[in-house]
Structure 1
Amino acid sequence: MEREKLLKPGTYFMTGNTAVAEAALIAGCRFFAGYPITPSSDLMEHMARRLPQVGGIFIQGEDEVAAINMVLGASAAGLKAMTATSGPGLSLMEEALGLGFMLELPAVVVDVQRVGPATGIPTLGAQGDVMQAIWGSHGDREVVVYAPSNVQEAFDLTIDAFNTAEELRLPVIILLDELIGHGYGRLRVPNLDEIRIVDRKKADIVEGYMPFKTHVLVPPFAEPGKGFRLHMTGLVHDERGYPVIDRDATERLLTRLLLKVRANRDRLVSYEVYPCDGIDKAEVMIVAYGSIANIVKCALKRLKAHGIKAILFRPKVLWPMPDVELCKSVESYGVENVLVVEMNYGQYLYLVRAALLHCPTPYRFVSITPGFYPSPKELSERILRVLS
């Protein structure tokens, strides 16, 4: 019966926020907790309507701190769980996200970015949460951060995010922005049997179960109600989940938490080089992501009219960063200048700059005022001025 209530195969016209919600349901999400905050509130409202239809649970918490902790609790109880927020809410969730990494609890957090800091401009989009998403909570841990550029990718990458969270047992972040979240676009939903859905690996032997085995990169999950003896703590712990103050145990645990992402880096990395056909050399490579990348694609045509051969390098996954792939593209296209375009004052720029140490190339930065999208004409003119 639940399957019958999921979005049917076909072509739709909907917002990015709605696409994320419907993808989450198809991925198996059956718990959502959140607190209203523009521009993610309509995603939450959609889940409030749809989750009961598929046998799921929706809770509006008293704040974002309560919401993320409920999500972690639901995940610990065996449900696929998610929340949605914006920059101020993500700030409040960071401590609990650190707990999620330590307890190795799958979860998906959607951040529909808006202008900041503080209250900023709630109704206008921006890209100011990149650093917060990648490095927000304290301590050493690795995160996976997705950055869709359109409604179709909002759908596709949400399913990928749930699969990654379940496979690697960790919280995963999806960075949208107001334009993608509230903007309408075409969505093609394939047959549900064609969509790869991953569920967490469950332990099958109760006797002697160790919830945090160190010789297994991603330990199997103890299914609630099946007789497993389980202890969880945010403290550094041993294989049993018991707190320890021991150098070897600390190194084993923290190294494994990092390796879950680092060892899977090659399959997690995702990016697009545009245009991919009809061009073998480019003077300029523009690095952009999210909604800004769409404007860059249009601006490329104007740059070509001015005699400048340019390509777009667009990460779909911001972290792990496709640094090796970026350098390979620089070398294979004979790029002479790298231009980073962001709707902030330079966040992903730092990662691009670090990547270029391995393929020394002059780089420049174009900062777009958060909240105020340029037209392709305006952006191309700014790029021409920077290049000159």
Structure 2
Amino acid sequence: MTAPSLAAAPAALTGRRNLEGNEACALGAIRAGCRFFAGYPITPSSEVAETMARELPKVGGTFIQMEDEIASMGAVIGASMGGVTAMTATSGPGFSLKQENLGYACGAEIPCVIVNVMRGGPSTGMPTRPAQGDILQARWGTHGDHAVIVLAPASVGEAYSETIRAVELSETLRVPVVVLLDEVIGHLTETVDLGAVAEAPGIARPFATGPREGFLPYAETADLVPPMPRPGDGYRSHCTGLTHGPDGFPTQNPAVAAAALTRTTDKLVLHRARIESWREQATEDADLLIVAIGISARAARQAVKDLRAEGLKVGLFRPVTLWPFPETPLREAVAAAGTRKVLVPEMNQGQLVLEVERVLAGRAEVTGLSRIDGETLTPDEIAGAAREALK
């Protein structure tokens, strides 16, 4: 089964539009071929569901509001197992509730896209205020070692294009993909050229073909992405959250169990070049490099301009793919410029900085800058921290 080509986008998904980030995210999913959405209203992500409810039926898709977040994730998994490209959207408390089923999707290699529009936490927290406190949860929220991709848009245009990419990566690699927005990006309105997205060669999930006798649903292939059986095609398949071998049945054989988990994580390593995405600004001679995502990166971008105007050599490295973290590009940027200091501004108590410290251990001095009061970091705050670090 092949999702509709981007070149064959509905007329409503072309031209220039003024969109909120949440709206752009929903339209990007539809453009990429998403035809099933299950969700439950939660601030500040509800506009994703509202847009899906309005637009999905126009392209023959299905929208369903479930009774809760747990059921929403289960419905998305069920639709995907049935062969349909599926997505859900939520915010922090709902993302917590989805973790058990998300773990099942990781273990069973079921394609799906989960949008998390971050808000203040923990628990109910501050529903209408921005935060970036789900960075580590997006990677490690469900228990056990598992493969997952996390993308972090920093504009409305990227909310559109990165959701398209999320669908493409999820479908072709059979892996859950999280689109991690913060509340500001989700509710920001910008002009987006819906037709300017680079055309993809078609988004095709690897469905099983060939002989049905002896079919192994989790057989190792050259690209480490086993073809997925589709109901009605006649392939016998067993799908479980238990550790399983190539036949899909539970196993406690140490060698088989290790091979199964290793293949799912090696899959992301093998395809890392197409998964990783990042942006650099004035990094070529930076004495200090700022590493930031989302709305914090937008503030950092202005801070870099202001500091450069003062004669300070400051640059910005922005991961678009948050997990797997673009560690080699960051190390190369630091090495090429001879960067001495790295500043990580984020709207939490220090999550992204932990990964940056790991990646740059011994290569540069890393300092964090946190804000946790429900307000965004400003360019002046970031510039002030950069000046202090450069003393």
Q: TM-score range by the shorter chain?
A: over 0.9
Q: Amino acid of the residue matched to residue 169 of structure 2?
A: T
The DSSP-based 3-state class of the residue aligned with 2:87 is strand
Question: Do residues 315 (structure 1) and 322 (structure 2) align?
Answer: no
Match of 1:69?
Answer: 74
- Equivalent-residue separation in structure 2 for 1:350 and 1:374 (angstroms): 19
Aligned pair count? 383
1:186 Cα deviation (Å)? 1.8
Q: Deviations over 1:284-304 (max 9, x none)?
A: 100111111011111112222
- Equivalent-residue separation in structure 2 for 1:290 and 1:94 (angstroms): 23
- Equivalent-residue separation in structure 1 for 2:38 and 2:112 (angstroms): 11
The two structures, once aligned, show a CA RMSD in angstroms of 1.7
Match of 2:305?
Answer: 301
CA change 1:83–1:310 in 2 (3 A) is same
Match of 1:337?
Answer: 341
User: Which of 213, 216, 220 in structure 2 is aligned with 1:214?
Assistant: 220
Structure 1 residues 69-108: aligned runs within 5 Å:
69-108=74-113
Identity %: 44
1:247 Cα deviation (Å)? 1.2
Match of 2:354?
Answer: 350
Question: Do residues 369 (structure 1) and 376 (structure 2) align?
Answer: no
Larger deviation: 248-257 or 109-118? 248-257
Structure 1 residues 1-388: aligned runs within 5 Å:
5=10, 7-190=12-195, 194-205=199-210, 206-216=212-222, 217-275=224-282, 280-357=284-361, 360-388=363-391
1:370 Cα deviation (Å)? 4.6
Contact 2:9 2:31 in 1 (8 A): no
Larger deviation: 364-373 or 161-170? 364-373
Q: Deviations over 1:190-214 (max 9, x none)?
A: 2789344312011112232211113
Larger deviation: 373-382 or 327-336? 373-382
Contact 1:286 1:340 in 2 (8 A): yes
1:83 Cα deviation (Å)? 0.2
- Equivalent-residue separation in structure 1 for 2:9 and 2:226 (angstroms): 33
Please list every run of 5 or more consecutive structure 2 residues that lacks an aligned counterpart in the other structure.
none
Alignment TM-score, normalising by the size of structure 2: 0.94
- Equivalent-residue separation in structure 2 for 1:114 and 1:267 (angstroms): 29
1:375 Cα deviation (Å)? 3.2
Larger deviation: 260-269 or 109-118? 260-269
Contact 1:141 1:258 in 2 (8 A): yes
1:374 Cα deviation (Å)? 3.6
- Equivalent-residue separation in structure 2 for 1:139 and 1:192 (angstroms): 36
The DSSP-based 3-state class of the residue aligned with 2:98 is helix
Alignment TM-score, normalising by the size of structure 1: 0.94
Contact 1:7 1:22 in 2 (8 A): no
- Equivalent-residue separation in structure 1 for 2:21 and 2:364 (angstroms): 35
1:168 Cα deviation (Å)? 1.1
Larger deviation: 330-339 or 70-79? 330-339
1:327 Cα deviation (Å)? 1.1
Q: Amino acid of the residue matched to residue 295 of structure 1?
A: A
Contact 1:28 1:80 in 2 (8 A): yes
Contact 2:13 2:31 in 1 (8 A): no
Please list every run of 5 or more consecutive structure 1 residues that lacks an aligned counterpart in the other structure.
none
Contact 1:5 1:53 in 2 (8 A): no
Q: Amino acid of the residue matched to residue 108 of structure 1?
A: V
Contact 1:115 1:128 in 2 (8 A): yes
Q: Where do 4+ consecutive residues of structure 1 move more than 6 Å?
A: none
- Equivalent-residue separation in structure 1 for 2:136 and 2:17 (angstroms): 33
Q: Amino acid of the residue matched to residue 375 of structure 1?
A: T
Contact 1:6 1:22 in 2 (8 A): no
- Equivalent-residue separation in structure 2 for 1:200 and 1:4 (angstroms): 18
1:317 Cα deviation (Å)? 0.4
1:177 Cα deviation (Å)? 0.8
1:97 Cα deviation (Å)? 0.7
- Equivalent-residue separation in structure 1 for 2:185 and 2:164 (angstroms): 17
Contact 1:31 1:82 in 2 (8 A): yes
